[in-house]
A = this chain, B = another copy of it.
Amino acid sequence: GDAAAGKAKSTTCAACHGRSGISMIPIYPNLAGQHQSYLSTSLKAYRSQQRKGGNAAMMWGIAASLSDDDIDDLAAYYASLPSTK
């Protein structure tokens, strides 16, 4: 994935996950510094609505509009962010 392209696509994500991938709302996970393949797998599980439970359903609508490239770019972007809180 292309982190720079991911950054450009991350405006919607930032609303809940924070401008730097550290969310101020504890039910939304921090994404900064998370593993790229885990982020990509998770987004695809939301997109396919296989991932349920907790607040998962909030992500279904968001992920539904993402292409594989979008997902890989977003995953690369968040994986590239420093995870320091």
Residues of A within 8 A of B (CB): 23, 26-30, 33-38, 41-42, 44-46, 48, 50-56, 83-85
B45 contacts A35, CB within 8 Å? no
List B contacts of A38 (CB < 8 A): 26-29, 54
Q: Across the interface, name the chain B residue whose C-beta is closest to A41.
A: B54
Question: Which B residues are in CB contact (< 8 Å) with A27?
Answer: 35, 37-38, 41
Complex contacts, A44 vs chain B, CB 8 Å: 53-54
Which one of B26, B51, B84 lies within 8 Å of A56 (CB-CB)?
A: B51
- Cβ distance A73 to chain B, nearest Cβ, rounded Å: 17
Knowing A53-B50, A83-B85, the reply to whether A35 touches B26 (Cβ < 8 A) is yes
